Chains A and B, each alone.
Chain A
Amino acid sequence: MSSQTYHLDARRLLCPMPVIRTQDMISGLTEGDQVVVVCTDPGVLSDIPSWCRMHGHEVLSTTTRDREITITVLVRSTVR
Chain B
Amino acid sequence: MPTSGSKQRKAVALISGGLDSMLAARVIQDQGIHVEGINFYTGFCVEGHTHAIREKDKNKQKRNNALWVAEQLGIKLHIIDVIEEYKDVVINPVHGYGQNLNPCLDCKIFMVNKAQAWAWMEQNQFDFIITGEVVGQRPKSQRKETMPIIARESGADDRLLRPLSAQNLPPTLPEREGWVDRDALFGFHGRNRKPQIQLAEKLGFTEYSQPAGGCCFLTDKAYSNKLADLWQFRGKRAYELDDIMLLKVGRHLRPKPHYKLIISREEGENHFLSGYRKQFISLETRSHYGPVALIDGHPLEQDLKSAAAIVARYSQGRDAARVTVDIRMLDGNSHSLEITPMPADQILDAWHV
Q: Report which A residues bind B (CB closer than 8 A).
A: 12, 14-17, 19-20, 23-24, 41-43, 45-47, 50-51, 53-55, 67, 80
Contact = CB atoms under 8 A, between A and B. Distances in A.
B48 interface: yes
Interface in B45-90: 45, 47-49, 51-53, 58, 61-64, 66-68, 70-71, 75-81
Main secondary structure, interface of A, reads helix
Contacts of B70: 50, 54
Given A45-B62, A50-B68, A55-B76, A20 B49 contact: no
6 contacts: A14-B52, A16-B39, A43-B47, A50-B68, A54-B67, A54-B70
A17 B43 CA distance: 9
A17 B184 CA distance: 37
Interface of B: 39, 41, 45, 47-49, 51-53, 58, 61-64, 66-68, 70-71, 75-81, 124, 245, 271-272, 275
B5 to A, nearest CB: 25
A54 B76 contact: yes
B288 to A, nearest CB: 23
Contact of A43 (B51, B79, B272): B51
Given A15-B49, A54-B75, A55-B76, A46 B275 contact: no
Nearest to B70: A54
B99 to A, nearest CB: 26
A54 B77 contact: yes
6 closest A-B pairs by CB: A43-B62, A46-B63, A43-B48, A41-B52, A15-B48, A50-B67
A37 to B, nearest CB: 15
Contacts of A43: 47-48, 51-52, 62-64
Nearest to B124: A80
